[in-house]
């Protein structure tokens, strides 16, 4: 069984279902999604609100915690233990030093900015724009939280050759 294919979608689903109860500041939104919110009779959601809805739908907070600052106690899925990362834009401990492309690759391809496999992260390979861009915008709009999360050591740790070939490291 490909653990990445199983756990990456589950972790994102978990993050979305649990962690999106807060409101976002729509004044920082770069644009609007064409997705309407429940009961909005066709009113478009802001990009960050659409990203928050996607994160909630995918359950990302179930693993990454409600403020998306990571899970230092870890999770175990199918016998593999890992520490879901800090997804806030903190430069030192979160995604603040990641490019949008690196965040997109982690979500859809299950590899980090150094092309290392994210073995407990479910894959969302079918997520495309505008949803993928909305999720990145939502994560970028979170308040930075400085929280060091232990490194996950994956069984059969490997570097993704496609990521490396694409200049990921």
Task: Pinpoint the alpha helices (H) of 36-150.
Answer: 47-57, 61-64, 100-109, 131-141
In the predicted structure, residue 23 carries a pLDDT above the cut 60: no
Distances (CA, A) of 160 to 49, 80, 154: 32, 19, 13
Pairing of strands 75-77, 80-82: antiparallel
- Omega before 167 within 30 of 0, i.e. cis: no
pTM beyond 0.85: the answer is no
pLDDT at residue 95 in the model = 98
Q: Mean pLDDT over residues 58-77, rounded?
A: 94
* Cα 22 from Cα 12, distance rounded (Å): 17
Percentage of residues in the chain having pLDDT higher than 90 = 50
Tens-digit pLDDT profile for residues 74-112: 998 778 889 999 999 999 999 999 999 999 999 999 989
Nearest alpha-carbon partner for 92 in 149, 14, 32, 168: 149
Q: How many CA atoms lie within 13 A of 10 on its CB side?
A: 14
What is the tally of structural domains in the chain? Answer: 1
Name residue 59's beta-bridge partners: 14
Residues comprising the chain, all counted: 169
pLDDT of residue 28: 38
SS3 category, 22? coil
- The Cα–Cα gap between 129 and 135 comes to 9
Residue with the larger pLDDT of the pair 29 and 92: 92
Measured between alpha carbons, how far is 7 from 78 in angstroms, rounded to an integer? 9
To 5 degrees, how large is the angle CA 43–CA 128–CA 75? 100
- Among left, alpha and beta (phi > 0; psi -120 to 50; other), residue 48 is alpha
Please state, in angstroms and rounded to a whole number, the distance separating the CA atoms of residues 32 and 120. 32
Q: What is the DSSP string of 43-57?
A: PEEEHHHHHHHHHHH
The per-residue pLDDT for range 5-18, each reduced to its tens digit, is: 433 343 443 333 33
Name the residue range of residue 27's domain. Answer: 3-165
């Amino acid at each position: 069984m490909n653990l990445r294919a199983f756990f990456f979608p589950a972790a994102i689903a978990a993050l979305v279902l649990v962690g999106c109860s807060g409101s976002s500041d729509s004044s920082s939104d770069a644009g609007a999604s064409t997705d309407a919110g429940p009961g909005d009779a066709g009113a478009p959601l802001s990009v960050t609100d659409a990203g928050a809805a996607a994160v909630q739908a995918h359950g990302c907070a179930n693993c990454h915690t409600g403020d998306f600052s990571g899970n230092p106690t870890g999770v175990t899925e199918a016998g593999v233990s890992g520490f879901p990362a800090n997804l806030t834009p903190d430069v030192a401990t979160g995604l603040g030093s990641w490019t949008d492309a690196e965040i997109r690759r982690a979500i859809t391809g299950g590899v980090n900015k150094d092309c290392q496999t994210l073995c407990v992260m479910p894959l969302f390979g079918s997520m495309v724009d505008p949803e993928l861009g909305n999720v990145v915008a939502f994560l970028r709009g979170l308040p930075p939280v400085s929280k060091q999360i232990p490194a996950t050591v994956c069984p059969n740790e490997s570097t993704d050759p496609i990521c490396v070939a694409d200049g990921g490291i």
